[in-house]
Amino acid sequence: MPNNGALPGPDTITRVVLDNGITVLVYENYAAQSVVLTGALTAGSLFEAPEKAGLASMTASALMRGTEQHDFDTLHASLEDIGADLDIGAGVHTAGFNGKALAEDLPILVNILAEALRQPVFPPEQVERLRGEIITGLQYRQQDTRFRANRAFRDALYPANHPYHYSTRGTLQTVPQIELGDLHSFHQRYYGPAGMIVVIVGAVKAQEAVEIIRAKFVDWHNPAQPAPAPLPDVPPVDELRRVAVTVPGKTQSDIVLGVPGPSRFAPDYRAAVLANSILGQFGMMGRIGEEVREKLGLAYYAYSSIEGGHGPGPWSVSAGVNPANVQLAVDSIVKEIRRLTAEPVSDEDLADNKSYFTGHLPLQLESNEGIAGSILNIELYNLGLDYLLKVRDEINALTKDDLLAAAQKYWNPDAFVMAVAGPE
Amino acid sequence: MAGVSRHQLDNGLTVLLKEQHSAPVISWWVLYRIGSRNERTGQTGVSHWVEHMMFKGTGQFPGGDLDKMISREGGTWNAQTSMDYTAYFETMPADRIDLALRLEADRMVNAQFEPEEVESERTVIISERQGAENSPLFWLGEEVRAAAFRVHGYHHEILGDQADLETMTRDDLYNHYRRHYMPNNAIAVAVGDFNSADMLRRVEELYGTIPPGDLPKLFQRPEPEQQGERRVRVERPGSNHFLEVAYHAPAATDDDWFKLAILNSVLTGPSGMGGGSVDNKTSRLYQALVKSEIAADVDGSIMPTIDPYLYDLVATLRPGRTLEEAETVVEREIERLRNEPISQAELDKAKKQARALFAYSTERVTAQAFWLAFAENFESYTWFEHYVPRLEAVTIQDVQDVAQRYLRPQNRTVGWFIPTGNGATDYEGEE
């Protein structure tokens, strides 16, 4: 029985908004006996004060450290005993959860999620242990040239009043400042049903899944929940800003260079994504990969990416090279950026990349996680339930001029932020 | 797993086919029975470097075009070099799979190895090694392996030693390719949305005409039994202390391997199989090391390998805690496994986790095709089919038995990573 290749759409995605505002989306998939539970709440780091950077992330992690019904051990035993998993974490704009279980165990997974989101107790000794683990992780990352280059890049690209300036993990200075009361008050204020999205994909009946969520969440209310404040403006980068970070004893340098890019809501988002693919994704990492890795043999990795979330996340290029080759690699990268902003892409490049994005959809939707991620994005960014059905047409309608205009709008090859982390 | 059919072409190529029609996608793997375990000193890393050269193209499919052709069709491709094999795969929209079939048939025999491409890739490979060397755990792992294996080829990293990466020649690489890349040394697997009869016919058309070759005698040196604990220290700039404890373990075909896999689930949590993972917060070592705030995390792994490899434990210490403390706790928990039976609840949990992780791994055709090729390489694809039943057959007594036989101090290598310099205090200004 060959598959008809049907993509998830309005006829196959069940979407229900509960009375308290939670949006539930379910897609039935009986390919494997598993189920994925994913989603988001409006409890990201943009609500935390700079001196308490890491608070949103620590709060999210601490939710799984004990609830009114289960202490740490019994909470995790109830998941691990059935081979299930549930992670809760926080980004800048949202806190998110990702769970997985055998399909028959969905009620257990939802029950633990509801307890963690609604009735966490933040046991003091657990919070201290978590803090120690976070600090150990931060210390480890201090030695990670890729992490250090990325931090230095964002630090220089976004001003101090912008949430993108800060690491959601916090720092070795701020994490020790976070108090137990901060976790309680962050949770009380920002966790709630308004804006919450739940996506379930797997071998479960849609209506049953909706009812499982309704039973555990419909009586949740939080009148204190504020709407996110608008993001401050990001001043344009009008010169080349270089930042160097020394990490002793390293054998490779990591480079990140870039500019503020389009948000997922930007009208030219798709054009920018296609231009980015040509610059540093398509094939073995696009034009940059071909130049830096294939022709010059300089790097093991070199690629470009667009973050494209709720706000102007970076459009950036990353590469890892021998410390002696940093300038040579940067020169090649900048040459390709200059070309992308100076001349239209070729007909062949345009056709190839359109073909890639339209042809690749079935692969993205192969696993329950892939389907759930796509449905979550549809809801987070108001793309419409028919998004996966119409995106091919949207991509095919893009022109060379659209791509050139997007490249020119975001990039100036003489003005960007560049961070390099490596040995002395 | 129902529905796998196994075929052998006249030239010796093994072909495994499994139809799965849940998504319009097919994954195609070609695995060669050669990996870093068979590399001689002076040529360490040759399998991995040859894998890189296979992306440089053939006469029919020039290098730069290959990536573009795959991407244009909406596909993805990659390769992996392991200790035991070198494997290539494409996962494509089902109606575009022919490109993958043609491409792998072509590069089984027609890869070019142009001298200038070899030189350009030398720096890429060295850069890959240098990138890995930025990680303290790479240094520690390399030293622990080298100490645990004095004789067997598992003693060196898959990436190879820097000295060999600097000196290997184009002919070294090309000869490796010619000796090992042939249909009678390969396993081809398709899983996905196809009709088996049609697929087999097309595979025969494309691969059936490739002549078989003389299989080389593999370079193999069994590791003599270890005669006492070995210890290594790595002292480098860094911020954290790491502890690694590695015991010699049996090959994947051995029933003892499955007993140790259950033991590992109890001690450090289960290992994922691609497609999903399960946390380890209720595992014994998490409870003993992380809850006691000695370590920030702990992990264990027992890899399925052709020859006996290692059962490996790694802990990341929290600041201010000592390697001696962590090692004492690990030893205490190992002794407990040797002296006392695990509980029925622990055994049941390990088995349920295995069933769940196995189910997760079957969601994606790419993961299924990988496991079939992987298992066929050291035994038979049925190893994967029988994976859950063999784990379910393990008893409480079995776990204590393998603990007593394998987790002996005389059978282990202990590695310490000790950060030096001011790495641990140099945080001012950044972050």
pLDDT at A201: 97
Report if residue B224 sits inside a domain: no
What would the pLDDT profile of A264-297 be if each residue is shown by its tens digit? Answer: 999 999 999 999 999 999 988 899 998 888 777 7
Q: Which domains does chain A have, with CATH numbers?
A: 13-217 (3.30.830.10), 241-422 (3.30.830.10)
In terms of average pLDDT, the best of A154-158, A357-361, B65-69 is A154-158
> Residue B69: closest CA among chain A residues belongs to which residue?
A283
CB contact under 8 A, B67 and A245: no
CB contact under 8 A, A294 and B131: no
Q: Which of residues 322-341 of A touch B (CB under 8 A)?
A: 322
Alpha helices, DSSP H, located in B134-169: 136-148, 162-167
Question: Taking 80 as the threshold, does the pLDDT of residue A6 lie above it?
Answer: no
Report if residue B225 sits inside a domain: no
Q: How far apart are CA B16 and CA B13, in angstroms?
A: 10
Claim to verify: residue B249 and residue B398 sit in the same structural domain: yes
A3 pLDDT tier (thresholds 50, 70, 90): very low
Report if residue B217 sits inside a domain: no
Tokens 């499955």 label which residue? B258
Residues of B with CB below 8 A from A146's CB?
Answer: 134
Identify which of B145, B130, B149 has the alpha carbon closest to the alpha carbon of residue B244: B145
CB contact under 8 A, A80 and B278: yes
Angle (CA) A289-A294-A295 rounded to 5° is 110
Report if residue B222 sits inside a domain: no
Question: What is the rounded average pLDDT of the residues B407-427?
Answer: 80
Residues of A with CB below 8 A from B94's CB?
Answer: 2-3, 5, 362
Among B176, B207, B238, identify where a domain stops: B207
Is the distance from CB of A108 to CB of A116 less than 8 angstroms? no
B427 pLDDT tier (thresholds 50, 70, 90): very low
For chain B, count helices (H), then strands (E). 16, 11
Claim to verify: residue B346 and residue B279 sit in the same structural domain: yes
Question: Taking 70 as the threshold, does the pLDDT of residue B426 lie above it?
Answer: no
Claim to verify: residue B169 and residue B235 sit in the same structural domain: no
3-class state of residue A419 by DSSP: strand
pLDDT at B298: 96
Claim to verify: residue B39 and residue B160 sit in the same structural domain: yes
Q: How far apart are CA B5 and CA B188, in angstroms?
A: 12
pLDDT at A1: 33
- Residue B91: both structure tokens together: 């996962």
In DSSP terms, which residues pair with B7 in a beta bridge? B15
pLDDT at B422: 52
Residue B313, CB half-sphere, CA atoms under 13 Å: how many? Answer: 32
DSSP string, B327-395: HHHHHHHHHHHHHSPPPHHHHHHHHHHHHHHHHHHTSSHHHHHHHHHHHHHHS-THHHHTHHHHHHT--
- Residue A117: both structure tokens together: 């989101």
Claim to verify: residue B178 and residue B289 sit in the same structural domain: no
Q: Give the lowest-confidence range in A212-226, B69-83, B188-202, B409-423.
A: B409-423
Report if residue B223 sits inside a domain: no
pLDDT at B272: 82
Q: Give the lowest-confidence range in A260-264, A384-388, B132-136, B166-170.
A: B132-136
CB neighbours of residue A396 within 10 Å: 12
A49 interface with B at CB cutoff 8 Å? no
- Burial label for B428, CB within 10 Å (0-12, 13-18, 19+), is exposed
B57 pLDDT tier (thresholds 50, 70, 90): confident
Looking at every residue in chain A, the average pLDDT score rounds to: 94
Torsion of CA B32, B33, B37, B39, to 10 degrees: -70
**Local structure of residue A344 (DSSP, 8 states):** P
Question: Taking 90 as the threshold, does the pLDDT of residue B23 lie above it?
Answer: no
Report if residue B98 sits inside a domain: yes
pLDDT at B1: 52
Claim to verify: residue B241 and residue B93 sit in the same structural domain: no
What would the pLDDT profile of B382-396 be if each residue is shown by its tens digit? Answer: 999 899 999 999 999
Claim to verify: residue B153 and residue B104 sit in the same structural domain: yes
B379 interface with A at CB cutoff 8 Å? no
Residue type (1 letter), B120: S
Give me the residue from A248, A360, A365 closest to B237, CB to CB. A248
B409 interface with A at CB cutoff 8 Å? no
Q: How far apart are CA B132 and CA B163, in angstroms?
A: 16
Among B141, B175, B207, identify where a domain stops: B207
Q: Which of residues 362-391 of A touch B (CB under 8 A)?
A: 362-363, 365-369
A229 pLDDT tier (thresholds 50, 70, 90): confident
Report if residue B381 sits inside a domain: yes
Claim to verify: residue B67 and residue B149 sit in the same structural domain: yes
Residues of B with CB below 8 A from A299's CB?
Answer: 124, 127
Q: How far apart are CA B25 and CA B23, in angstroms?
A: 5
A265 interface with B at CB cutoff 8 Å? no
Residues of B with CB below 8 A from A12's CB?
Answer: none
A176 interface with B at CB cutoff 8 Å? no
Task: Specify the CATH number for the domain of residue B50.
Answer: 3.30.830.10
Claim to verify: residue B202 and residue B234 sit in the same structural domain: no
pLDDT at A20: 97
Q: Which of residues 20-79 of B touch A (CB under 8 A)?
A: 20-25, 55, 63-64, 66-68, 70-76
Question: What is the rounded average pLDDT of the residues B100-110?
Answer: 96
pLDDT at B431: 29
pLDDT at B269: 95
What would the pLDDT profile of B403-415 be if each residue is shown by its tens digit? Answer: 999 999 999 999 9
What's the pTM? 0.90
A73 interface with B at CB cutoff 8 Å? yes
Claim to verify: residue B368 and residue B275 sit in the same structural domain: yes
What ipTM goes with this model?
Answer: 0.83
Name the residue range of residue B350's domain: 230-420
Strands (DSSP E) along A8-78, which ranges? 13-17, 23-28, 34-41
Residues of B with CB below 8 A from A296's CB?
Answer: 120
What would the pLDDT profile of A129-158 be if each residue is shown by its tens digit? Answer: 999 999 999 998 998 999 999 999 999 999
pLDDT at B286: 96
Our CA-based measurement puts residue A302 at a distance from the nearest CA of chain B, in whole angstroms, of 11
Domains identified in chain B, total number: 2
Question: Taking 80 as the threshold, does the pLDDT of residue A194 lie above it?
Answer: yes
Q: Which of residues 270-299 of A touch B (CB under 8 A)?
A: 282-284, 290, 293-299
Question: Taking 60 as the threshold, does the pLDDT of residue B293 lie above it?
Answer: yes
B269 interface with A at CB cutoff 8 Å? yes
Residues of B with CB below 8 A from A97's CB?
Answer: none
Q: How far apart are CA B63 and CA B67, in angstroms?
A: 8
A140 interface with B at CB cutoff 8 Å? yes
Q: How far apart are CA A381 and CA B116, in angstroms?
A: 48
Question: Taking 50 as the threshold, does the pLDDT of residue B107 lie above it?
Answer: yes
Claim to verify: residue B176 and residue B46 sit in the same structural domain: yes
Claim to verify: residue B363 and residue B397 sit in the same structural domain: yes
Report if residue B100 sits inside a domain: yes
Question: What is the rounded average pLDDT of the residues A385-408?
Answer: 96
A17 interface with B at CB cutoff 8 Å? no
Question: Taking 50 as the threshold, does the pLDDT of residue B245 lie above it?
Answer: yes
Strands (DSSP E) along A253-411, which ranges? 253-260, 299-306, 314-321
Residues of B with CB below 8 A from A106's CB?
Answer: none
Among B138, B173, B207, identify where a domain stops: B207
